[in-house]
Structure 1
Amino acid sequence: MQPKAPRRTRERILELSLRLFNDFGEPNITTTVIAEEMEISPGNLYYHFRNKDDIVNSLFAQFETEISRMLAVPADRRPTVEDVWQYLHLMFELVWRYRFFYRDLSDLLSRNRKLELHFKQILTHEIQVAQQLCTGLRADQALEATDREIETLATNMVVVATYWLSYEYVRNPRKYTEQEVMAEALARGCYQVLSQIVPYLRGETRVMFNRLADEYLQKLK
């Protein structure tokens, strides 16, 4: 096997910046801090990125690419409640990897017009996917809801998912970066989002949800 090529400086800067932003919050990290942690000169950093917003935008481009691949419903069949559960689980894992966007969302969007526009598009897409998942369940008579109820339900699911990490940060700010603590927080978030759909589930799908919920909640004990 050939040895792996060393990562380029640009990639290392992005990787380090993401870790620092996630651990300490984007507003608390400057390009000087990033350069010092990288053990490179500020000039070397500015050769790759014009400023901190350039770093943030590059990280957001990575996030946007990943979430765009994820935001899709099964093309060859109607979705099941297990699909919805799996979709949420993967979504929360992605949100955790780029958690600084969600933790500092209001501040970031107020300062960065590009992020503001693109994040709106992501939220719109997420709501559309949630509506498609619910409509698919309704088509199989696994869910009973009107179009208006599905529209409201999809919006509420996205709202809870978007701000769940902010809620968890307020609950445990000193343990926010502890992997084990936040793994449980993400599991709770997944359950909280999906539990909103429970009153609309019918038949075997309701039974299946209860089983999945019992298994999930058992892991949190």
Structure 2
Amino acid sequence: MKTRERIIVTSLALFNQFGEPNVTTLQIADEMDISPGNLYYHYKNKTEILSELFNRYESQMMELLDVPEVEISLEDQWLFLHLVFEKIAEFRFLYQDLVNVLSKHPKIANRFKRILDKKLTASITILSSLQQQRLLEATDQEIKATCHSIVLTITYWISYEMVSRGADGDAIDLGKGVFQVMSLMVPYLRNDARTHFQEMSTTYL
């Protein structure tokens, strides 16, 4: 692995472990056992490292959230959520200290808001598909409100887990997060779909 890529991999691990504001470029260089000058040759400062990490997160997340307008099953929704939670966990430093990180980096803040908007659009697309298949019975207003709750839960689940259970970032139970989000849909699922959801829950958790 080339030095430039090692810097990114090491920075991501340290940011996730200690929080981005608590990690310096000197610590990154020390962890890699390279000189600060070698690090600065590739990245002039920590902001450039953060920008590269966010570029990768943004690209991967936006691709994941590009949900096609086709028939989507409950299994598809479950898998979609799991993939989203996995990506958030991979770049969890963004979510662990969200307000602080975004307040210091306004350019990233604007792009992160677009990701939130994309999460909302993807959720509405999925729930609308379930509605059209008569698996879910809800008004358009109820779907939109539920999707806002879905985005809220997805965005803050890692922080909630870490605070409520004292969980280490690597020990966060993503399955519970997926289940919690899916549970938001339960009041609107029709009988057969609700039974199917309960069966999936038993095997998944």
Q: Smaller-chain TM-score range?
A: over 0.9
- The superposition leaves residues 80-108 of structure 1 with CA deviations (integer Å, 9 ceiling, x where unpaired) of 11111110011111111111111011110
Q: Distance between the aligned counterparts of 1:193 and 1:139, measured in 2?
A: 20
Alignment correspondent of 2:152 = 159
Task: Determine if the alignment matches structure 1 residue 42 to structure 2 residue 30.
Answer: no
Structure 1, unmatched stretches of 5+, are 1-6
Alignment correspondent of 1:206 = 194
Q: Distance between the aligned counterparts of 2:102 and 2:2, measured in 1?
A: 29
- The superposition leaves residues 52-105 of structure 1 with CA deviations (integer Å, 9 ceiling, x where unpaired) of 111111001111111111113245x31111111110011111111111111011
Q: What are the residue-to-residue correspondences of 1:19-98 with 2, within 5 Å?
A: 19-74=13-68, 77-98=70-91
SS in 2 for 1:122: helix
Task: Report which stretch shifted further, 16-25 or 41-50.
Answer: 41-50
> Which stretches of structure 1, 4 residues or more, deviate above 2 A after TM superposition?
72-75
Alignment correspondent of 2:176 = 188
- Cα distance change on mapping 1:98 and 1:74 into 2, 3 Å: same
Q: Distance between the aligned counterparts of 2:193 and 2:165, measured in 1?
A: 34
Task: Determine if the alignment matches structure 1 residue 176 to structure 2 residue 168.
Answer: yes
Answer whether contact 1:144 1:200 (CA < 8 A) is retained.
Answer: yes
SS in 1 for 2:84: helix
Deviation of 1:199 after TM superposition, in Å, equals: 0.4
Q: Distance between the aligned counterparts of 2:161 and 2:19, measured in 1?
A: 15
SS in 2 for 1:127: helix
- The superposition leaves residues 98-156 of structure 1 with CA deviations (integer Å, 9 ceiling, x where unpaired) of 11111011110010011100100000000000000010001011111111111111110
Deviation of 1:171 after TM superposition, in Å, equals: 2.2
Answer whether contact 1:157 1:196 (CA < 8 A) is retained.
Answer: yes
Alignment correspondent of 1:4 = none
Answer whether contact 1:73 1:79 (CA < 8 A) is retained.
Answer: no
Aligned residues: 205
- The percentage of aligned residue pairs carrying the same residue is 43
SS in 1 for 2:115: helix
Q: Distance between the aligned counterparts of 1:186 and 1:13, measured in 2?
A: 27
Structure 2, unmatched stretches of 5+, are none
- Indicate the RMSD between aligned Cα atoms, in angstroms: 1.2
Alignment correspondent of 1:3 = none
